[in-house]
Each structure stands twice: as structure tokens, then as C-alpha cells.
């Protein structure tokens, strides 16, 4: 018989024994989802729910099912298309929860004991939106069921300690309910504990004032008035005990636990030559080994830690290394700047690698390969498999993996101060041992999370209040932000922080921040606030962060997280746009896409024009991220639909942005007709919208088409649209110059090409300088101005000299030879042609040969030039040169819409029976 416990942390029990579950959160969440829903699911839907993204979702699902099968066989039923959890022979705690009104008291008590915590406690997957939404909804449903059961039990037990226990429990999960507070106050008062009743009222009043900005409602006031009619009892022994501060286990100021044992691990680390990874379960001491090695290092060190996935923090691991770096033009330069900064560092230590983000992983990859520095990382075994970036790093960089296991008995005893009980209960897990020590005597065998939770439960007053806020902020938290979010007075807050520090719950991390001693402690502290209180905490944090001066948008990712959990969907979406744009600036494209996708999911809760506007901004982030185009193209439908709606609703700017995004996508997939259509739409509705990028990409496409002599009419249209946007650029001038030259409007073409050259030179864009100058030179030759052509050729050489690896120098020399030859100078033109053939530049060859065929006085040579020109032009599809050369040869030549005005005039003359001098051979 298998038993599934979903209320509280997920547990599977078979024949009375706990079944070990996969360390992978996603695998555990999948099992919980299958068991809770108790129906068959399409594999495809499960993939969408848990593995949406670029990796192979079906393979990930197969892997997870394999891991789960060993734990819950034979309940897991997987066919080719469906997966289900067969529940008929399994006991699942959420099944058969009683109806409070009709159940007997015994049944109600039994149901109440099933709630060991909130539904699927700690099993959040903020990156999997669909799962998370389902989980949050179910959590609330079961919270309400729990409240109903506890309320009924409180009522049935009358004025008894049992009733008070249930009432207090209800209060922890329903802290903003007047009736819940009133029930506790009344019971305390009725039981003669008037001092406690008054304290409870005071606590309620402060809570409501600080967190809701209101006073408690009438039921609470009524309960208070009733206390006033009874004598106060402030000095019972129990009440005095409750007011004592919790004992501090560690000495104040001693933030780091003693380092014991680990000789084997240290030897293995010392022996490793490449990057090294410490793998082990949470609390086993990986971070402590890293801390020790950082302390022992003889030179400068760098340490960083990855953040849990729910926070969008690109380069989260490298925050300190990136601070103050100037903005760079590409990712490699940014990485180089970091490597430069790490120069001289002897050890780079990265903790919690299982949470590393794509950008941090890419940078770590780069650092490992380029910087001569020792790399030491640590990760939770099992969980690391959930993170594709971490998996890839470990595989690609061939990390030497060192398993960190439990301390042996002697070392555990050394850590536990020879306390046999602690040594035995902890099983060699150092965090467990320390937590047992801090909890004091009389602690029974329990999971480490329960030990930590019990210790936190002993906190009282402002320290208890503060710890939940700090935990919601994250592993490391800034004192100022906590202060702003809680609204606590400075003195009160400092006292609370000091108490938490003395209790070894937090420790200082820099001048203005604190750090939880371990993430398990933070997670337990976070669980202290449930339901509506947690929502409120996140809301205040989101607002406090929004009001923080943050010109770079570094906090936007955190705001998304808090605002979303607070149900502040508009703020979350707005922050998602900011976070996405910041990721784009930092070339963190995977994070940009992730946060934008998350924003799009949240935006579904919005409505009207606000939703349309924010959605388009989020789609902008997705389209502009340089992830493979196949991952972005599926958004085209949504963009088109939103663009249309925006247009109908008169949202010109949003519609223009949508059309621009479509143009970018079509262009990337070489769907020029789609691009032309979209850009046309963009230009129609863009006036005033930010379309610099659109204009640039349109001009680039247009010039490309003109050089290739393909779809010239489309190029013309693209350029017209780019011009309509009205943002000048060298690419636009270049495209227009090419177009005018193609149209035979040389007088207009030349200044445009000169303009393009000047702007390109100012931007050090040598490639476009080169294009502009070569077209100026060939244009001059076509116009018969050989002197001008030679002047342009002279300008080509220094540009070509700046371009490494290509054929530009050779082509410049050939063009100059052609100009001199045309000017009547004695030039070895055959050698120049041989050079062009050698570098295999058929487009140039076609133009040069067709030009030489026109000016050559020796008919045989001219014919030979023209023959080869046809071959070269046909090979690369240069229709104009092919037409000109064929006419020179007297061969049939077809007009097409894409040939140049010059080729057209050759055709016209031939049709009219006239011939150019020397041309018809």
C-alpha cells in the first residue's frame, strides 16, 4: 500500500517507510501533479506544463518518469501518448477530506492532522508558469478547506485548551481575519489568560496597522472590550516563560561554524587540475568547504552564488564582478572586461551551481577557458540535473566531481562538542548537527527542516516578524529594502536583526546586507508566513523595490517575482518588460526570453489596452533576443493578432511596434514578401514610434536585394518605408545610392553614396565604407569619368588595408587597373583579370568584363571579355551584366524587371536597331 502526502512537503510512504524521491524538483512536482489530479494527461500537455523551452521536453519527461517509476511503481502508468497516476490502490491525503458541517468531531480531528503544512509546501516551480498557477490555486483551495475544518473544531470544542489550539492554528493560516483573532482573544479571556488575550489583541492591532494600514474590525474590538470586564492575569509562569528571549546557541559575532574533518575532500580538491565541482545534499557542508578554501587562499579570490530560479538576475553569480563595468557592444567584450577584472585572482568559487542562469553559465564557461584561475563550484546533487545550463557546463568543461558525504563519527562528535545524541541524530550532516545544537536539549528525531522550523517558531516579537520578510526577499537581503518594505522603525529593526544574528539565523554579508546562514533556514523562515500574509509581504516588497533608485533596472527581475506572488499583475508585467530589456542590454538572451514569457503568462490576467501594450513590449523582448529564430517564429501569430487589435483600437504606437516585430521576424527567415508587407504596415502606423531598428533592417535588406539584382521593386518599397520612418543611417543612404545608380540617376546616386561613406567612416564600419566607395568608382566608370574613378580607387586602398582576411585589397587593385586601362594607360589588364578569377569574385568579374567588352577596341578581345562576362554573370545571377554582355555578343537577351537602367538602355537601343559604338561585335 502506497501513501501520498501532498498537504505539507511531498512525501511518499510505502508499508510505513518513507520512499526516497528524486532530488529533481520537477520530477517531484510532476508526481504530485499526477497524484493530485488523478487522471490521465497527454504527454504533450505535461511537457508544456513542466518543460516549456528550447530543450527536448519529451526526453526530459521520459527521464523524469524513469526516475519516478522506481519510487512509485506500479502506480505510474505511461503509454505512448498518456501518463497517469493510478490511484485506486493508493492513499492520498487530499482524497476524502471531510465536510466540516456534517462530519463527526473525530473525523474532523483526523482531517486536521492531515494538514502538515500548506499544499505541496516548498514545491514551487516559478519557471513553470502553468504548474505554478495550478499549484497556487490548489494551495488556496486547501487552505480554505483547512480554515473551515479548524473553525468548526474550535466551535465544537467550546472553551477548552483544545479549542484554543485549533483557533491558534487557524490564525497562522488566516492572519488577517478579524474573526480568527477574535476567537483566540475570546478563548484566552474565557480561559482566564487575560494578559495573553490583551497581548494577542495588541499583536493583532500592530499587524493590521503595519501591514494593512487599518485598525482591527469590530469582532476584534468587541473581544477586547470583553477582556476589560475580567481581571488581568499577567504573571502566570507560562506567560513569563513565553516572554523570555530564545537562547542563543552560537556566540555573538561568531558567524562561521568550526571547520572539522574533510581531509579526503581537501586532498581531492588539491589533486584536481581543472575546474572542480563539490556535489552533495543540502546542509552537508559544501559551502563551508568553499568558505574554508577562500580563507586559506594566499592571493585575491572571487566568490559568487547562484540565486534560486524565481529571481530574474542575469549574471547573478557575477554581480560583484560586473558592478561598475561600462556598457559593451557585444557579449565577448563584456566577458573580456570581467576576465580582465579577475586578473591576478587565484580562486573563483561559485556556490549553488544548481540554480545558475544561462548568462552566468556562459560567463563561467568563458572564464574557465580564458583566465588562468582555479575554479571551484558546489551544487546540490540531483537538483543540478534540473538545470540544463549547469548540466552543459559540467559536461563541456569536464568538471572533476567530488562527492561531499556525511562527516564521520569522530568529526561529527568534534562539531557537536561530544554530544552523542546530536552526533547520532544528525547522521553526519553538519548543518543538521548545528541546528540540533542550537535547538538545545530535548529535541527528538525529526527531519532537519522540522528542527529548523521549530527553532524559528521560538522567535518572538519584531525578530519573528522580520525574519519572514527577509526570507521573502531572498537568501541575501539589503537592510534598507527590508526597512522600507516592513515600515519598521530603525531601532526596532536593528534590535531584531541583532537577535536573529545572535540566534545564528542570519549573518552579516557586507556593510548593508545580511545573509541567511543556509538556504534551508531561509526556506523554513519563508514558510512561517502563509496565505494572505505572504501575499502582503510580497506586495510591500514589490512596492519598496519599485521605489528604490535603480537606473539600470537591476531590481526589475525581483519586482516581477514579488509583484506576481502578490497578485499585482500590472506591476509584474511592467517590471517584466524592464527586466527583459535589461537582459537584452547585457546579451543575456535566454533570461530575456524567459522573463518575457513569464510576463506574457501574467499579462493574461490583464485586460483592455493596457494588456495589449504590455504584451507587445514583451513580444519585443522575445523577438529581439538572439535565440534561434525557430524559437521566436511561433510568436508571429500572436504578434499579428495583437497588432491587428491594436490597430482597431487606435493604439498607433503599439500597432507600429507589432508590425516592426513581424518585419524583423520575416526578414530573419528570409520571408521578404512577409517582411515587405509587415514593413509597409509598420511605416503606415509607425509615425513617432521607435523604429530606428526597423528602418535599419529594411535598408539592409533593400541593399542586399539591389546588389544581387533580385526583387528590385521590393527593395524600392523597403527603402521607401525606411525613409518614411525618417531616421537617417549609412545603410539607408547606401541603399538609396544603390537604387538611384540602378535607376540610372547617377547625379543623385553619387551624393548619397558619399554620405553613406562619411557616416560609415565615422562609425568605423569599413565594410560599408568599402561598398560605398566601390559603387562610386564603378558609377564613375559607367559615366565615362575615368579620372574620378581613379580618385575613388585611390580612396579604396586605405579602407581595404583595414579589412583583414578578405579580397578587398585585390579587388581595389583590379578596379584601379580597369580605371587606368579605360583612361588609356598601359596596364596589364589580363593580370588584373587573372587576379579576379583567382580570388573567385564572379560578381566583380562579370561587371569588369562587361565593362571592358564595351570599351575594348580589339573586337576579338572584346568578344572574349563578353563571353566570359556572360558566364560569370549567369553563375551569380547578375542579370544586368548578363544582358549587356549578351547584347554586345549579339545574342538574344531578355529584359526583366530587375535589370538596371543601363542594361535597359542597351536593350532599347538594340530593339530600335541602333547600336553603340564598338558594342555589337
- Using CA atoms, how far residue 452 sits from 446, 457, 523, 582, in Å, is 10, 9, 10, 37
**Which stretch, 55-63, 358-366, 569-577, 902-910, contacts other proteins (CB under 8 A)?**
358-366
- Between residues 75 and 811, which has the closer beta carbon with respect to other proteins? 811
Map the footprint of other proteins across residues 9-28, applying CB under 8 A.
Answer: none
Helices (H), 115-236: 129-156, 161-173, 178-190, 194-207, 218-228
| Closest C-alpha among 874, 705, 878, 880 to residue 782 | 880
Three-state SS for 349-405 is EEECHHHCCHHHHHHHHHHHHHCCCEEEEEEECCHHHHCHHHHHHHHHCCCEEEECC
Q: How many residues bind other proteins (CB under 8 A)?
A: 34
**Which stretch, 66-74, 400-408, 870-878, 889-897, contacts other proteins (CB under 8 A)?**
870-878
- Torsion angle of alpha carbons 636, 637, 643, 646, nearest 10°? -140
Asked if 805 interacts with other proteins (CB under 8 A), we say: yes
Contact 800, 808 (CB under 8 A): yes
Asked if 700 interacts with other proteins (CB under 8 A), we say: yes
- Using CA atoms, how far residue 501 sits from 144, 494, 496, in Å, is 35, 10, 9
Among 558, 591, 844, 898, binds other proteins (CB under 8 A): 844
Among 79, 840, 912, 914, binds other proteins (CB under 8 A): 840
Map the footprint of other proteins across residues 718-757, applying CB under 8 A.
Answer: none
- Using CA atoms, how far residue 131 sits from 41, 48, 135, 212, 816, in Å, is 13, 9, 6, 30, 67
Map the footprint of other proteins across residues 211-250, applying CB under 8 A.
Answer: none
- Between residues 556 and 702, which has the closer beta carbon with respect to other proteins? 702
Among 186, 841, 882, 900, binds other proteins (CB under 8 A): 841
Rounded Cα distance between 386 and 503, Å, is 33
Among 876, 901, 907, 921, binds other proteins (CB under 8 A): 876
Asked if 696 interacts with other proteins (CB under 8 A), we say: no
Grid cell locating 245? 528571549
Burial of 164 (0-12, 13-18, 19+ CB in 10 A): buried
**Which stretch, 132-140, 329-337, 520-528, 891-899, contacts other proteins (CB under 8 A)?**
329-337
Helix (H, G, I), strand (E, B) or coil at 53: coil
- Between residues 444 and 840, which has the closer beta carbon with respect to other proteins? 840
The distance of closest approach from Cβ of residue 9 to other proteins in the complex, given in angstroms and rounded to an integer, is 37
- Between residues 700 and 850, which has the closer beta carbon with respect to other proteins? 700
| Closest C-alpha among 541, 525, 542, 522 to residue 482 | 541
Asked if 807 interacts with other proteins (CB under 8 A), we say: yes
Grid cell locating 652? 498607433
Q: Kindly state the DSSP code that residue 76 receives in the 8-state scheme.
A: E
- Between residues 700 and 919, which has the closer beta carbon with respect to other proteins? 700
Rounded Cα distance between 753 and 751, Å, is 5
Among 668, 677, 748, 754, binds other proteins (CB under 8 A): 668
The Cβ of residue 853 has, within 10 Å, a number of other Cβ atoms equal to 27
Among 336, 609, 671, 690, binds other proteins (CB under 8 A): 336
Asked if 762 interacts with other proteins (CB under 8 A), we say: no
Helix (H, G, I), strand (E, B) or coil at 315: coil
The Cβ of residue 594 has, within 10 Å, a number of other Cβ atoms equal to 26
Map the footprint of other proteins across residues 363-402, applying CB under 8 A.
Answer: 365-366, 369-370, 396
The distance of closest approach from Cβ of residue 804 to other proteins in the complex, given in angstroms and rounded to an integer, is 6
List 77's β-bridge partners, or say none.
84
**Which stretch, 77-85, 282-290, 555-563, 800-808, contacts other proteins (CB under 8 A)?**
800-808
Q: Strand 17-18 vs strand 76-78: parallel, antiparallel, or unpaired?
A: unpaired
- Between residues 633 and 724, which has the closer beta carbon with respect to other proteins? 633
**Which stretch, 71-79, 402-410, 645-653, 872-880, contacts other proteins (CB under 8 A)?**
872-880
Asked if 424 interacts with other proteins (CB under 8 A), we say: no
Contact 357, 306 (CB under 8 A): yes
- Between residues 343 and 859, which has the closer beta carbon with respect to other proteins? 343
- Between residues 162 and 692, which has the closer beta carbon with respect to other proteins? 692
The distance of closest approach from Cβ of residue 782 to other proteins in the complex, given in angstroms and rounded to an integer, is 20
Map the footprint of other proteins across residues 766-795, applying CB under 8 A.
Answer: 767
Among 843, 847, 850, 888, binds other proteins (CB under 8 A): 843
Render the burial of 362-390: b for 16+ CB within 10 Å, e for the rest. Answer: bbbbbbbeebebbbbbbbbbbbbbbbbbb
User: Listing from the earlier edge strand, what are the strands of the sheet with 476-478?
Assistant: 476-478, 513-516, 506-508
DSSP-derived secondary structure for 138-171: HHHHHHHHHHHHHHHHHHHT-SSHHHHHHHHHHH
Map the footprint of other proteins across residues 426-485, applying CB under 8 A.
Answer: none
- Between residues 582 and 878, which has the closer beta carbon with respect to other proteins? 878
Asked if 877 interacts with other proteins (CB under 8 A), we say: yes
- Between residues 120 and 800, which has the closer beta carbon with respect to other proteins? 800
Asked if 674 interacts with other proteins (CB under 8 A), we say: no
| Closest C-alpha among 780, 715, 772 to residue 747 | 780
- Between residues 27 and 841, which has the closer beta carbon with respect to other proteins? 841
Rounded Cα distance between 536 and 502, Å, is 28
Helix (H), strand (E) at residue 11: strand 11-14
Among 704, 761, 823, 901, binds other proteins (CB under 8 A): 704
The distance of closest approach from Cβ of residue 345 to other proteins in the complex, given in angstroms and rounded to an integer, is 17
- Between residues 13 and 707, which has the closer beta carbon with respect to other proteins? 707
- Between residues 41 and 365, which has the closer beta carbon with respect to other proteins? 365
The distance of closest approach from Cβ of residue 833 to other proteins in the complex, given in angstroms and rounded to an integer, is 14
Rounded Cα distance between 334 and 319, Å, is 13
Asked if 628 interacts with other proteins (CB under 8 A), we say: yes
The distance of closest approach from Cβ of residue 635 to other proteins in the complex, given in angstroms and rounded to an integer, is 17
Asked if 633 interacts with other proteins (CB under 8 A), we say: no
- Between residues 655 and 705, which has the closer beta carbon with respect to other proteins? 705
The distance of closest approach from Cβ of residue 842 to other proteins in the complex, given in angstroms and rounded to an integer, is 4
- Cβ partners under 8 Å of residue 723, min gap 6: 732, 736
The distance of closest approach from Cβ of residue 808 to other proteins in the complex, given in angstroms and rounded to an integer, is 9
DSSP-derived secondary structure for 694-745: HHHHHHHHHHHHHHHT-SHHHHHHHHHHHHHHT---HHHHHHHHHHHHHTT-
Question: What phi and psi, each to the nearest 5 degrees, are found at residue 609?
Answer: -65, -35
The distance of closest approach from Cβ of residue 758 to other proteins in the complex, given in angstroms and rounded to an integer, is 19
Asked if 362 interacts with other proteins (CB under 8 A), we say: yes
Helix 859-876 / helix 842-855 crossing angle, nearest 10 deg: 150
Asked if 331 interacts with other proteins (CB under 8 A), we say: yes
The distance of closest approach from Cβ of residue 333 to other proteins in the complex, given in angstroms and rounded to an integer, is 11
Rounded Cα distance between 113 and 5, Å, is 12
The distance of closest approach from Cβ of residue 626 to other proteins in the complex, given in angstroms and rounded to an integer, is 6
The distance of closest approach from Cβ of residue 693 to other proteins in the complex, given in angstroms and rounded to an integer, is 15
Contact 334, 315 (CB under 8 A): no
- Using CA atoms, how far residue 756 sits from 503, 745, 768, in Å, is 68, 17, 8
Among 842, 886, 902, 910, binds other proteins (CB under 8 A): 842
- Between residues 643 and 700, which has the closer beta carbon with respect to other proteins? 700
The distance of closest approach from Cβ of residue 839 to other proteins in the complex, given in angstroms and rounded to an integer, is 6
What residues line the site for other proteins (CB under 8 A)?
331-332, 335-336, 362, 365-366, 369-370, 396, 626, 628-629, 668, 670, 700, 704, 707-708, 767, 803-807, 839-844, 875-877
Amino acid at each position: 500500500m502506497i501513501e501520498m502526502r501532498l498537504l505539507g512537503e511531498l512525501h511518499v510512504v510505502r508499508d510505513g517507510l518513507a520512499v526516497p524521491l528524486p532530488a529533481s524538483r520537477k520530477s517531484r512536482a510532476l508526481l504530485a501533479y499526477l497524484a493530485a489530479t488523478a487522471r490521465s494527461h497527454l504527454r504533450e500537455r505535461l511537457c508544456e506544463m513542466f518543460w516549456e523551452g528550447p530543450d527536448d521536453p519529451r526526453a526530459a519527461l521520459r527521464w523524469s518518469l524513469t526516475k519516478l517509476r522506481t519510487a512509485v511503481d506500479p502506480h505510474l502508468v505511461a503509454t505512448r501518448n498518456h501518463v497517469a497516476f493510478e490511484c485506486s490502490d493508493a492513499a492520498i491525503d487530499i482524497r476524502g477530506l471531510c465536510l466540516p458541517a456534517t462530519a463527526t468531531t473525530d473525523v474532523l480531528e483526523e482531517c486536521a492532522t492531515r494538514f502538515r503544512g500548506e499544499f505541496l509546501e516548498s514545491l514551487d516551480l516559478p519557471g513553470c508558469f502553468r504548474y505554478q498557477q495550478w499549484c497556487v490555486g490548489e494551495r488556496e483551495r486547501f487552505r480554505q478547506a483547512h480554515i473551515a475544518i479548524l473553525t468548526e473544531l474550535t466551535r465544537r470544542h467550546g472553551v477548552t485548551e483544545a479549542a484554543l489550539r485549533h483557533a491558534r492554528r487557524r490564525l497562522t493560516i488566516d492572519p488577517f481575519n478579524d474573526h480568527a483573532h477574535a476567537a483566540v482573544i475570546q478563548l484566552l479571556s474565557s480561559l482566564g489568560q487575560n494578559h495573553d488575550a490583551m497581548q494577542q489583541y495588541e499583536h493583532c492591532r500592530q499587524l493590521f496597522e503595519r501591514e494593512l494600514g487599518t485598525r482591527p474590525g469590530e469582532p476584534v474590538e468587541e473581544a477586547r472590550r470583553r477582556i476589560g470586564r475580567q481581571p488581568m492575569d499577567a504573571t502566570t509562569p507560562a506567560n513569563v516563560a513565553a516572554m523570555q528571549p530564545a537562547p542563543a546557541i552560537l556566540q555573538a559575532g561568531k558567524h562561521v561554524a568550526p571547520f572539522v574533518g574533510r581531509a579526503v575532500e581537501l586532498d581531492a580538491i588539491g589533486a584536481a587540475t581543472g575546474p572542480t565541482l563539490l556535489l552533495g545534499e543540502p546542509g552537508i557542508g559544501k559551502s563551508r568547504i568553499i568558505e574554508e578554501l577562500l580563507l586559506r587562499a594566499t592571493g585575491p579570490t572571487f566568490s559568487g552564488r547562484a540565486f534560486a530560479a524565481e529571481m530574474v538576475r542575469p549574471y547573478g553569480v557575477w554581480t560583484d564582478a560586473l558592478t561598475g563595468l561600462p556598457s559593451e557592444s557585444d557579449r565577448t567584450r563584456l566577458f573580456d572586461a570581467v576576465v580582465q577584472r579577475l586578473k591576478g585572482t587565484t580562486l573563483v568559487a561559485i556556490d549553488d551551481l544548481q540554480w545558475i542562469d544561462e548568462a552566468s553559465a556562459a560567463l563561467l564557461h568563458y572564464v574557465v577557458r580564458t583566465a588562468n584561475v582555479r575554479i571551484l563550484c558546489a551544487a546540490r546533487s540531483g537538483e543540478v540535473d534540473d538545470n540544463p545550463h549547469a548540466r552543459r557546463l559540467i559536461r563541456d568543461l569536464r568538471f572533476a566531481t567530488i562527492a561531499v558525504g556525511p562527516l564521520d563519527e569522530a568529526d561529527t562528535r568534534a562539531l557537536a562538542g561530544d554530544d552523542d545524541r546530536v552526533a547520532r541524530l544528525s547522521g553526519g550532516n553538519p548543518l543538521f548537527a548545528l541546528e540540533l545544537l542550537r535547538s538545545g536539549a530535548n529535541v527528538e528525531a525529526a527531519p532537519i527542516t522540522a528542527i529548523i522550523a521549530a527553532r524559528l517558531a521560538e522567535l518572538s516579537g519584531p525578530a519573528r516578524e522580520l525574519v519572514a520578510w527577509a526570507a521573502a526577499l531572498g537568501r541575501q537581503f539589503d537592510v534598507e529594502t527590508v526597512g522600507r518594505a516592513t515600515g519598521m522603525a530603525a531601532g526596532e529593526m536593528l534590535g531584531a536583526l541583532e537577535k536573529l544574528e545572535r540566534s545564528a539565523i542570519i549573518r552579516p554579508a557586507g556593510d548593508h546586507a545580511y545573509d541567511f546562514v543556509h538556504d534551508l533556514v531561509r526556506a523554513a523562515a519563508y514558510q512561517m508566513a502563509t496565505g494572505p500574509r505572504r501575499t502582503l509581504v510580497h506586495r510591500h516588497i514589490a512596492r519598496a523595490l519599485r521605489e528604490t533608485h535603480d537606473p539600470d533596472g537591476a531590481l526589475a527581475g525581483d519586482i516581477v517575482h514579488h509583484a506576481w506572488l502578490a497578485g499585482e499583475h500590472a506591476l509584474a508585467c511592467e517590471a517584466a518588460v524592464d527586466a527583459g530589456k535589461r537582459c537584452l542590454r547585457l546579451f543575456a538572451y535566454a533570461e530575456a526570453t524567459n522573463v518575457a514569457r513569464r510576463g506574457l503568462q501574467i499579462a493574461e490576467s490583464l485586460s483592455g489596452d493596457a494588456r495589449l501594450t504590455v504584451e507587445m513590449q514583451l513580444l519585443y523582448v522575445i523577438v529581439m533576443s538572439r535565440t534561434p529564430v525557430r524559437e521566436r517564429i511561433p510568436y508571429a501569430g500572436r504578434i499579428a493578432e495583437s497588432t491587428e487589435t491594436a490597430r482597431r483600437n487606435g493604439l498607433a504606437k503599439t500597432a507600429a511596434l507589432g508590425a516592426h516585430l513581424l518585419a524583423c521576424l520575416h526578414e530573419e527567415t528570409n520571408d521578404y514578401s512577409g517582411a515587405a508587407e509587415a514593413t509597409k504596415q509598420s511605416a503606415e502606423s509607425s509615425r513617432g514610434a521607435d523604429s530606428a531598428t526597423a528602418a535599419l533592417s529594411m535598408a539592409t535588406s533593400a541593399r542586399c536585394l539591389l546588389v544581387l539584382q533580385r526583387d528590385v521593386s521590393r527593395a524600392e518599397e523597403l527603402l521607401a518605408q525606411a525613409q518614411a520612418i525618417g531616421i537617417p543611417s549609412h545603410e539607408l543612404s547606401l541603399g538609396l545610392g544603390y537604387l538611384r545608380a540602378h535607376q540610372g540617376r547617377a547625379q543623385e546616386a553619387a551624393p548619397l553614396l558619399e554620405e553613406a561613406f562619411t557616416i560609415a567612416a565615422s562609425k568605423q564600419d569599413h565594410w560599408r565604407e568599402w561598398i560605398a566607395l566601390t559603387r562610386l568608382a564603378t558609377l564613375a566608370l559607367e559615366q565615362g569619368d575615368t579620372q574620378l574613378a581613379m580618385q575613388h580607387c585611390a580612396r579604396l586602398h586605405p579602407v581595404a588595408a583595414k579589412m583583414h582576411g578578405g579580397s578587398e585589397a585585390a579587388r581595389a587593385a583590379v578596379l584601379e587597373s580597369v580605371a587606368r586601362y579605360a583612361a588609356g594607360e598601359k596596364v596589364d589588364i589580363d593580370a588584373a583579370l587573372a587576379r579576379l578569377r583567382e580570388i573567385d569574385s564572379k560578381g566583380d568579374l562579370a561587371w569588369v568584363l562587361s565593362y571592358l567588352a564595351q570599351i575594348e577596341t580589339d573586337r576579338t578581345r572584346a568578344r572574349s571579355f563578353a563571353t566570359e562576362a556572360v558566364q560569370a554573370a549567369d553563375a551569380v545571377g547578375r542579370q544586368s551584366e548578363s544582358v549587356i554582355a549578351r547584347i554586345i555578343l549579339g545574342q538574344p537577351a531578355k529584359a526583366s524587371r530587375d535589370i538596371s537602367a543601363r542594361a535597359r538602355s542597351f536593350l532599347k537601343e538594340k530593339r530600335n536597331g541602333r547600336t553603340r559604338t564598338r558594342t555589337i561585335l
